[in-house]
Amino acid sequence: MIHLRPATPHDLDLLRRWDAAPHIIASKGTEDWGWERELVRRPDWREQLIAEVEESPIGFIQIIDPGREDSHYWGDCPTGLRAIDIWIGEEAYLGQGFGTEMMRLAIDRCFSDPSVDGILIDPMASNARARRFYERLGFRFVENRSFGHDDCAVYRLDRGNWQP
Ligand SMILES: CC(C)(COP(=O)(O)OP(=O)(O)OC[C@H]1O[C@@H](n2cnc3c(N)ncnc32)[C@H](O)[C@@H]1OP(=O)(O)O)[C@@H](O)C(=O)NCCC(=O)NCCS
């Protein structure tokens, strides 16, 4: 059973350790997420969550409103969207269904707001396994798009394609 809880400044070392893990560098590069700065603030357009299995932290999920996020990473966006980032930091927990469970919880969380009608994700175009993972959850490919130096594949899940 997965439990999601808010990330706090106490998670700083954990998140840095995960950032340095080879399987995480392979999927999201070495981009600096500015944890020290970000973990102390809770803007209302973002949730940063730690996924725990039996109180042991295994992964991270970020949910943002891409239209209101302050760096405008996604560019101009209509209202009614959310964007999710997800990773399992503890390598021993990969490939056992935990990611699917984490993603289902995150998606339910997004769609529990009746104003949300779509969810975006942007795996690296080369991350074939993550792309298959999202496709199995019902995400549909939208377009290839460069974010900074990363070639990404944008996917979207519409509320109508989701069975809670
Ligand atoms: C993508 C991820 C969240 C999926 O969670 P998971 O618990 O491993 O996945 P599940 O057990 O629920 O489902 C298995 C599927 O996950 C994906 N997966 C498993 N290991 C993976 C890995 N090291 N990297 C990427 N995807 C992986 C595959 O699609 C796998 O299906 P397959 O065996 O048919 O290829 C997780 O593998 C992960 O964090 N990977 C590394 C970071 C990453 O790629 N994050 C996504 C960035 S957009």
CATH number, domain of 15, equals 3.40.630.30
12 to 8, 23, 35, 121: CA distances (angstroms)? 8, 19, 6, 24
Given a cut of 90, is residue 29 above it in pLDDT? no
Given a cut of 90, is residue 115 above it in pLDDT? yes
Q: Write out pLDDT tens, residues 129-142.
A: 999 999 999 999 99
Alpha carbon distance 30, 76 (integer Å): 25
What pLDDT is attached to residue 159? 97
Instruction: Please state the pTM of the whole predicted model.
Output: 0.95
Q: Write out pLDDT tens, residues 43-71.
A: 999 999 999 999 999 999 999 999 999 99
Q: Determine if ligand 1 sits within 6 Å of the CB of residue 88.
A: yes
Alpha carbon distance 146, 153 (integer Å): 8
- Based on the structure, what is the number of domains in the chain? 1
What pLDDT is attached to residue 163? 87
What pLDDT is attached to residue 62? 98
Q: How sure is the predictor about 28, in pLDDT bands with cuts at 50, 70 and 90? A: confident
C-alpha atoms less than 13 angstroms from C-alpha of 36 in its C-beta half-sphere: 1
Whole domain around residue 96: which residue ranges?
Answer: 2-161
Q: Determine if ligand 1 sits within 6 Å of the CB of residue 6.
A: no
Separation of CA 71 and ligand 1 centre (Å):
27
Q: Determine if ligand 1 sits within 6 Å of the CB of residue 129.
A: yes
Alpha helix (H) residue ranges in the chain:
12-19, 22-28, 35-38, 98-111, 128-137
Among 90, 120, 133, which is best to mutate for testing ligand 1, by the most ligand atoms less than 8 A from CB?
A: 133
